A = this chain, B = another copy of it.
Amino acid sequence: MIRQQLLMPSPEDLADFLNRHTRSRDCLVQVAGLAEVTYQGRAASTADVGTYLVVVKQDGSLQIHHPTGIKPMNWQPKTDSITARVDEDVCMLLASRRSPEELVQVVFLEPQMALALELAQAGGFVLRGSEAEMQQTLAEHPELIEPGLRVLNRELMVESGGIDLYARDAQGRYVVVELKRGRATQHAVSQLARYVRSVEGKLPAKAVVRGILAAPSITTPARLELENRGLEFREVSALPQATAAAGGPVAQPSLFD
């Protein structure tokens, strides 16, 4: 599973190692050691000499980590070309990308270790509690939002964006539903207001369009803004245990029964 490992490689050996294993596209390559990193593209950055961990995955994605933090200091999600070369007796790695035009350059001053790992098989991955899942559940059980609600569309595209759920209520009024898997903010209220406006613009002038923000909770300013605009809030939870934990024996039907 360890394809190859080098300790304190020479610039030439490191460049060779990097070119070989990144081109094979079948292993994860990493280099740890003293380096200098520059980036130019949508923005630009420079990192002084320091000890970093450089990782190149099979798909050519590049990330450069400093000692702390979840996010890499520099990165490149997709690279059009990734090459190593020796220049002035140091090995440097150049990762470039068109559209957007970006370049990350790593100068390895004192590489301590280079490692190529075979990270072949990835198992299936399932995420639960996403907004998409909420949407599907609520499309199947719109009564969890309101009795008598009938869903007409999911992700209905209007000029201003995609309406999560487009529905009609028991009185036949059109309803725009904006979903949030987490606490709803003023941003969500803005979205909902925009969608309601778009729908009103497409319907006869007198038509009443309701707007419902459905989320597990809502911030205080968002609630105020929502009421100011004549829009509504409906509490729904993204995960089953959320309602169970909060309400003990659930009085209201859960999203995940």
Contact = CB atoms under 8 A, between A and B. Distances in A.
Contact of A186 (B42, B49, B130, B161): B161
Interface in A213-248: 221, 224-225, 238-239
Interface stretch (A63-71, A139-147, A169-177, A204-212): A63-71
B73 A68 contact: no
Interface of A: 1-2, 7, 28, 32-33, 36, 42-53, 55, 57-59, 61, 63, 65-70, 72-73, 75-77, 112-113, 115, 117-130, 159-161, 181-182, 186-187, 190-191, 194, 221, 224-225, 238-239
Contacts of A52: 119, 122
Contacts of A73: 125
Contact of A46 (B126, B130, B186): B126
Interface of A is mostly: mixed
B2 A112 contact: yes
Contact of A128 (B43, B129, B160, B224): B43
A66 B113 contact: no
Contacts of A44: 127-129, 239
B43 A119 contact: no
B182 A160 contact: no
Contacts of A32: 1, 117, 119
Contacts of A75: 70
Nearest to A73: B125
A237 to B, nearest CB: 12
A176 to B, nearest CB: 15
Contacts of A190: 190-191, 194
Contacts of A55: 65
Contacts of A28: 53, 65, 67
A163 to B, nearest CB: 14
Contact of A1 (B33, B50, B68, B225): B33
B48 A59 contact: no
Given A121-B50, A238-B43, A113 B2 contact: yes
A28 B66 CA distance: 10
